[in-house]
């Protein structure tokens, strides 16, 4: 990753952190997510599982929903997903289905994570209908993302 990429990754992650602060303020888990296509934000997601009383309202899924509505297709193979937290197992399935090739995450989530858990769906190569596992860039603004839990 060169300095131009890192500068862009940090910029988009700051946006995700701002979205996560909105979630935290309203009582949801502090997670924010973006979908970026060719340098343009096409989807935003704010964690809303508690306020919506629906577990599927994770920030990553909300960003994907927003993006697919805007571009009117489900193939996101030309996009990057940014998120303050490593996508969970549920979100990881959606990410793989939508063919997102690059994931940029602030912090890992351990036992429920899509790449750091014992069920690393983001790294799976057995399910033949999925394309190659996405490139995972972790630790972007890690301290700032971790501080969302203070």
Residues acting as catalytic residues? 60
How many other C-beta atoms are found inside a 10 Å radius of the C-beta of residue 3? Answer: 7
70-80 CB burial, b ≥16 within 10 A, e <16: ebeeeebeebb
How far, in whole angstroms, is CA 57 from its chain's centroid? 12
User: Which of these, 80, 84, 85, 109, lies nearest to 8 by C-alpha position?
Assistant: 80
The Cα 22–Cα 98 span in angstroms is: 26
Nearest C-alpha neighbor of 106 from the set 136, 133, 86? 86
Structure letter (DSSP) for residue 134: P
């Amino acid at each position: 990753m060169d300095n131009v990429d890192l500068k862009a990754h940090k910029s988009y992650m700051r946006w995700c952190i701002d979205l996560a602060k909105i979630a935290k303020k309203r009582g949801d888990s502090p997670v924010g997510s973006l979908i970026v296509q060719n340098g343009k934000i096409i989807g935003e997601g704010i964690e809303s599982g508690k306020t919506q009383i629906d577990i599927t309202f994770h920030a990553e899924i909300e960003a994907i929903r927003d993006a697919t509505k805007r571009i009117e297709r489900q193939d996101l193979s030309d996009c990057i997903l940014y998120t303050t937290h490593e996508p969970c197992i549920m979100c990881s399935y959606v990410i793989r289905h939508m063919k997102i090739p690059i994931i940029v995450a602030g912090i890992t989530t351990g036992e429920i994570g899509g790449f750091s858990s014992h069920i690393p769906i983001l790294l799976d190569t057995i399910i033949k209908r999925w394309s190659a596992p996405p490139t995972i860039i972790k630790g972007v603004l890690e301290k700032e993302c971790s501080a969302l839990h203070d």
